[in-house]
């Protein structure tokens, strides 16, 4: 069985073994293979000498270059913080209006804020801050807690219904589930709310009158006599057409029946003061119809 | 097929089935209300079905055939058909996963259809379902042919094949129910892991016993690779899955490792799953079917030895390149990186050995799509190992890590190498096993080849682009030293590539469906032909001139 043959094509001998018709040539390992084995091994050896590489009993070979990835990260983060600090410290110290007047600082805001918004806020408020079901739009000028600089900064700092000790707190009560209104009453109230917003609810004047009475008894304490909302309480204006959860019959029924308690994280410990200020400038510029 | 077992073997099969049924029943009862209960029901049903087939045969007369004159190919045939089934399922899932990444709403309102659950069905479906069955089936074929000996046993090959598929089904159904250990490629829970250990040990013993029966003085290279695959996968699987069940009646366990040790164990496993499952096993396939089809001697025996030991030795060290720039101590990263680079040479030596073997047969590569599958597979093997070694360098990895570049690399290996070599092997072995002249339609093979190649190229190029764009966007800073792009910006940039990937995947899937159809038609309709000299040598001694008994 062990008959060595010469392969006519390559001129190499076979090893003389055969497996179900398969044979093997005894060709030398090509020079190039040895060459690259040597190159890669030398490279590895050099790397081991220079860098942290082999474990010892209770330490490891640290390498001649003395490089340590943890130290490197710390240094790089510190260096990056230092370059940003040049302008970020100023932003942290100045009131928003002063920043807006400073074109140099504003150049930094314009560069940094969109990505900050995209990474932290857009997931709920939408990539163009347009809001969505359950999340208020930030471009419509209909503010729950107020749209002036200080109020926005505070909202960012403490969040809404968040675990932050100073958090803004607001809750729409579950009038239906908690038995304050029955289903019929809720539908009437919903029609009245639609009429407040100038929507055609199709309800008769008597029904709306009944709704007004229900509203005065149950809703006005938060949303105001006229339904225009109370910003100190974070109670939304019901006379405009900006909805968080929607103005349809079903959405309004669900809101009044089960209540609502939206949630916005507190950013005090997640973003720096400068970052929160840049975001406040960014979203006020959006609300003013600034950059799209 | 059960009729070909002897009475005693049928009894053993029956005992195994009954034991399985009891285990299933206990699991179903104990795990009631937990996914483990559903898995118990699956085990029970599987045991019931096999019991039915065994019982149907148990009263039949003993088989009349002379077992020494023939190879035992029934489990191989079944394995190949099952592999094709999983190919269609697993790749179909892949296309769905790809489509969800492009259009996230492409799901129904049920937890099982969410990305996180169907993704592992894809990965396990293709790696274990398709790849694993193809490896088991071809290993049965190759070990018999290169040993010129019949399989050592008739129940154990079935036990391994069907047991392994039971594992696959438990794995996939578990993912859909939300069962996972959260270790990639090792997601199944503790009871599935224990079961796989049993199956795998039987597999190992079967392989060794068959080799021990061989009628050839030497062990052929392909068998080294298959053995390395079986042995190392056993070790990896056992170590990485060491865990304490939270309770014996539920599908939840806690890993024996914690923190960075857990991460390192997982990627030591994960990388060597690539090495010994997706590489070594399939190199076994390559080393048998490529020279067989090309009818050329292996270019260099010495190169085979060098690359085998190189691959086996270096791969084991390389896992830590999956954890560059993490909490893993830097010296471990250094070792992973340097060994990955040294690994390149034996990897390329294997690919080169395969391609040089084709010298003198290039006209066949041109004319024969089956051989072309294997040739292109070797090229993609070379490509993905080069890419892998490159990505293992820390500086490169800092760009590629966490991006689609990794996914592109994975699929250059998985589609270009693993799937293509498997399809090539299937096309060359199916006519032989079913004693057919050729495949039913060579045109369909040709179509499959081009669909698969186009699909792979589109997929891989799309992911290279997307991955590099993504990586660069993540690290682009503005002049102020702040990030230039939000994460969502990168998603928007990746969308077109995700669409392209889904299209490429759909082409690849179409090819796999054609393969399944072609194999089915070959079995049913292709003209018959008896293969020559396809029987163990022991029978040659008995009946020198005549092939297998009529
Ligand atoms: C029809 C062809 C295929 C398509 C469309 C496809 C699609 C996908 C998709 C979309 C992912 C998820 C990527 C992500 O999470 O970003 C994925 C992951 C994966 N696929 Fe495929 N795939 C295909 C074929 C295969 C084959 C044949 C194999 C293996 C033999 C394979 C192995 C894997 C693996 C290992 C992963 C995980 C990658 C990682 O975690 O980095 N795929 N595939
Ligand atoms: C010399 C050979 C190879 C080396 C050095 C290598 C190296 C690498 C590296 C550096 C990564 C990226 C790790 C990360 O950044 O997370 C990776 C990922 C991967 N490679 Fe390879 N690779 C090689 C060959 C292959 C082959 C042939 C296949 C497939 C058949 C393959 C399949 C994979 C898979 C599935 C992953 C993704 C793991 C995950 O994150 O889920 N590799 N490989």
**Could you tell me if B1 and B28 lie in one domain?**
yes
Q: Is-contact A60 B331, C-beta < 8 A?
A: yes
Between chains, do A48 and B341 touch, taking CB under 8 Å as contact? no
pLDDT of amino acid B136: 98
Asked if the structure places residue B324 within a domain, the reply is yes
Helix (H, G, I), strand (E, B) or coil at A103: helix
Domain that holds residue B38: 1-59
C-alpha to C-alpha distance for A282 and A290, rounded to whole angstroms: 9
pLDDT of amino acid B539: 55
**Could you tell me if B307 and B277 lie in one domain?**
yes
Same CATH topology for A72-161+265-287 and A183-258?
yes
**Could you tell me if B356 and B445 lie in one domain?**
yes
Asked if the structure places residue B68 within a domain, the reply is no
**Could you tell me if B379 and B502 lie in one domain?**
yes
Between chains, do A24 and B345 touch, taking CB under 8 Å as contact? no
pLDDT of amino acid B535: 83
pLDDT of amino acid B122: 98
C-alpha to C-alpha distance for B283 and B308, rounded to whole angstroms: 9
Asked if the structure places residue B538 within a domain, the reply is no
| CA dihedral for B317, B318, B319, B322, sign (positive or negative) | positive
Between these two residues, A2 and A244, which has the higher pLDDT value? A244
Asked if the structure places residue B411 within a domain, the reply is yes
Task: Specify the CATH number of the domain A183-258.
Answer: 1.10.760.10
B391 lines ligand 2 (CB under 6 A): yes
Q: Is-contact B116 B182, C-beta < 8 A?
A: no
Best mutation site among B330, B539, B547 for testing chain A: the one with the most A CBs within 10 Å? B330
Could you read off the pLDDT tens digit of each residue along chain B, which spans 550 residues?
778 899 899 999 999 999 999 999 999 999 999 999 999 999 999 999 999 999 998 888 888 888 888 899 999 999 999 999 999 999 999 999 999 999 999 999 999 999 999 999 999 999 999 999 999 999 999 999 999 999 999 999 999 999 999 999 999 999 999 999 999 999 999 999 999 999 999 999 999 999 999 998 899 999 999 999 999 999 999 999 999 999 999 999 999 999 999 999 999 999 999 999 999 999 999 999 999 999 999 999 999 999 999 999 999 999 999 999 999 999 999 999 999 999 999 999 999 999 999 999 999 999 999 999 999 999 999 999 999 999 999 999 999 999 999 999 999 999 999 999 999 999 999 999 999 999 999 999 999 999 999 999 999 999 999 999 999 999 999 999 999 999 999 999 999 999 999 999 999 999 999 999 999 999 998 888 888 778 887 655 444 444 444 3
Asked if the structure places residue B293 within a domain, the reply is yes
The structure's pTM equals 0.92
**Could you tell me if B44 and B109 lie in one domain?**
no
Concatenated DSSP letters of B4-62: GS-HHHHHHHHHHHHHHHHHHHHHHHHTTTSHHHHHHHHHHHHHHHHHHHHHHHHTSPP
Chain A residues with CB-CB distance to B301 below 8 A: 15, 24-27
Residue with tokens 């010892």: A56
Asked if the structure places residue B370 within a domain, the reply is yes
**Could you tell me if B424 and B290 lie in one domain?**
yes
Indicate which atom in ligand 2 lies nearest the CA of residue B185: 41
C-alpha to C-alpha distance for B424 and B371, rounded to whole angstroms: 6
Tell me whether B359 touches chain A (CB under 8 Å): yes
Tell me whether B217 touches chain A (CB under 8 Å): yes
Name the token pair of A103. 């074109």
Between chains, do B300 and A29 touch, taking CB under 8 Å as contact? yes
C-alpha to C-alpha distance for B294 and B353, rounded to whole angstroms: 13
**Could you tell me if B30 and B114 lie in one domain?**
no
pLDDT of amino acid B344: 97
Helix (H, G, I), strand (E, B) or coil at B347: helix
B124 lines ligand 1 (CB under 6 A): no
Would the annotation count B448 as a binding residue?
no
pLDDT of amino acid B542: 45
Would the annotation count A1 as a binding residue?
no
How many separate domains does chain B show? 2
Taking the CA of residue B138 as centre, how many other CA atoms within 13 Å lie in the half-sphere pointing to its CB? 33
pLDDT of amino acid A118: 95
Asked if the structure places residue B291 within a domain, the reply is yes
Domain limit, last residue, from B59, B81, B98: B59
Q: How far is the CA of B305 from the centre of ligand 2 (A)?
A: 23
Q: Class of the A72-161+265-287 domain?
A: mainly alpha
Which of A9, A27, A118 is nearest residue B300 as measured by Cβ atoms? A27
Between chains, do A69 and B330 touch, taking CB under 8 Å as contact? yes
Which of B301, B329, B485 is nearest residue A26 as measured by Cβ atoms? B301
**Could you tell me if B136 and B25 lie in one domain?**
no
Q: Where are the domains of chain A?
A: 1-67, 72-161+265-287, 183-258
Asked if the structure places residue B255 within a domain, the reply is no
Q: Which of B116, B127, B123 is nearest to B93 (CA)?
A: B123
Ligand 1: which residue has its CA nearest to atom 22?
B94
**Could you tell me if B105 and B29 lie in one domain?**
no
Consecutive H or E run containing B255: strand B253-255
**Could you tell me if B151 and B54 lie in one domain?**
no
B347 lines ligand 2 (CB under 6 A): yes
Give the number of the ligand closest to the Cα of residue B121.
1
CATH number at residue B191: 1.20.210.10
C-alpha to C-alpha distance for B543 and B32, rounded to whole angstroms: 58
pLDDT of amino acid B538: 65
C-alpha to C-alpha distance for A243 and A241, rounded to whole angstroms: 6
Would the annotation count B495 as a binding residue?
no
**Could you tell me if B54 and B77 lie in one domain?**
no
For A17-72, how does the pLDDT look when each residue is reduced to its tens digit (9 = 90+)?
A: 889 989 999 999 999 999 999 999 999 999 999 999 999 999 999 999 999 999 99
**Could you tell me if B338 and B277 lie in one domain?**
yes
């Amino acid at each position: 069985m062990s008959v060595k043959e010469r392969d006519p094509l390559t001129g190499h001998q076979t090893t003389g073994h055969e497996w179900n018709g398969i044979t093997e040539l005894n060709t030398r390992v090509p020079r190039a293979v040895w060459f690259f084995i040597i190159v890669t091994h030398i490279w590895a050896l050099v790397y081991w000498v220079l860098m942290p590489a082999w474990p010892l009993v209770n330490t490891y070979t640290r390498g001649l270059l003395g490089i340590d990835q943890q130290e490197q990260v710390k240094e790089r983060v510190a260096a990056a913080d230092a370059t940003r600090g040049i302008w970020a410290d100023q932003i942290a110290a100045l009131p928003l209006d002063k920043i807006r007047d400073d074109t140099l600082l504003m150049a930094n805001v314009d560069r940094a804020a969109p990505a900050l918004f995209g990474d932290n806020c857009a997931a709920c408020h939408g990539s163009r801050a347009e809001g969505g079901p359950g999340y208020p739009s930030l471009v419509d000028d209909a503010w729950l807690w107020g749209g002036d600089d200080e109020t926005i900064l505070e909202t960012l700092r403490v969040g809404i219904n968040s675990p932050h000790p100073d958090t803004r707190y607001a809750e729409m009560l579950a009038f239906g589930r908690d038995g304050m209104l029955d289903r019929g009453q809720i539908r009437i109230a919903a029609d009245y709310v639609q009429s407040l917003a100038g929507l055609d609810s199709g309800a008769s004047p008597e029904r709306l009158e009944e709704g007004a009475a229900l509203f005065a008894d149950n809703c006005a304490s938060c949303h105001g006599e006229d339904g225009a909302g109370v910003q100190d309480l974070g109670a939304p204006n019901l006379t405009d057409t900006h909805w968080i959860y929607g103005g349809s019959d079903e959405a309004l029924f669900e809101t009044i029946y089960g209540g609502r308690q939206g949630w916005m994280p507190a950013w005090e410990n997640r973003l720096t003061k400068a970052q929160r200020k840049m975001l406040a400038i960014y979203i006020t510029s959006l609300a003013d119809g600034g950059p799209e | 097929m059960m009729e070909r077992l002897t009475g005693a073997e049928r009894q053993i099969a029956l005992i195994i089935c009954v034991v399985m049924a009891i285990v299933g029943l206990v699991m179903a009862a104990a795990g009631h209300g937990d996914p483990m209960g559903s898995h118990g029901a699956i085990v029970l049903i599987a045991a019931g079905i096999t019991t039915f087939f065994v019982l149907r045969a148990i009263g039949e007369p003993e088989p009349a055939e002379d077992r020494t004159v023939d190879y035992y190919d029934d489990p191989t045939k079944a394995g190949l058909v099952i592999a094709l089934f999983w190919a269609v399922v697993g790749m179909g899932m892949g296309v769905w996963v790809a489509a969800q990444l492009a259009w996230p709403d492409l799901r129904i309102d049920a937890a099982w259809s969410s990305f996180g659950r169907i993704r592992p069905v894809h990965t396990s479906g293709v790696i274990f379902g398709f790849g694993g069955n193809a490896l088991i089936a071809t290993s049965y074929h190759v070990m018999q042919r290169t040993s010129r000996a019949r399989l050592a046993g008739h129940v154990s090959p079935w036990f391994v094949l069907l047991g392994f598929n039971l594992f696959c089904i438990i794995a996939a159904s578990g993912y859909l129910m939300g069962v996972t250990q959260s270790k990639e490629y090792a997601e199944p829970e503790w009871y599935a892991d224990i079961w796989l250990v049993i199956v795998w040990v039987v597999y190992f013993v079967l392989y060794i016993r068959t080799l021990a029966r061989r009628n050839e003085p030497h062990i052929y290279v392909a068998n080294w690779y298959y053995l390395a695959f079986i042995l190392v996968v056993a070790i990896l699987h056992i170590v990485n899955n060491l865990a304490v069940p939270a309770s014996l009646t539920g599908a939840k366990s806690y890993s024996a490792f914690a923190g960075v040790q857990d991460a390192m164990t997982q990627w030591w496993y994960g990388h060597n799953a690539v090495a010994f499952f997706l590489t070594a096993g399939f190199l076994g396939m390559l080393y048998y079917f490529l020279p067989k089809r090309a009818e050329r001697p292996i270019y260099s025996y010495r190169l085979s030895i060098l690359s085998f030991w190189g691959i086996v030795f270096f791969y084991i060290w390389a896992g830590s390149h999956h954890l560059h720039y993490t909490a893993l101590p830097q010296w471990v990263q250094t070792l992973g990186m340097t060994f990955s680079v040294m690994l390149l040479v034996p990897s390329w030596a294997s690919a080169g050995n395969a391609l040089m073997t084709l010298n003198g047969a290039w006209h066949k590569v041109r004319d024969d799509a089956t051989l072309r599958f294997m040739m292109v597979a070797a090229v993609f093997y070379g490509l993905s190992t080069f890419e892998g070694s490159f990505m293992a360098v820390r500086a490169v990895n800092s760009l590629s890590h966490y991006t689609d570049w990794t996914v592109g690399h994975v699929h250059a290996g998985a589609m270009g190498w693993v799937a293509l070599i498997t399809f090539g092997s299937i096309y060359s072995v199916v006519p032989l096993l079913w004693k057919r002249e050729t495949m039913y339609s060579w045109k369909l093979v040709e179509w499959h080849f081009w669909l698969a190649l186009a699909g792979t190229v589109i997929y891989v190029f799309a992911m290279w682009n997307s991955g590099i764009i993504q990586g660069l966007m993540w690290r682009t800073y503005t002049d102020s030293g702040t990030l230039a792009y939000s994460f969502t910006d990168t998603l928007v940039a990746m969308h077109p590539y995700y669409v392209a990937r889904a299209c490429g995947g759909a082409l690849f899937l179409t090819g796999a469906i054609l393969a399944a159809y072609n194999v089915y038609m070959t079995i049913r309709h292709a003209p018959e032909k008896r293969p020559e000299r396809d029987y163990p040598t022991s029978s040659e001694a008995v009946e020198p001139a005549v092939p297998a008994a009529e």
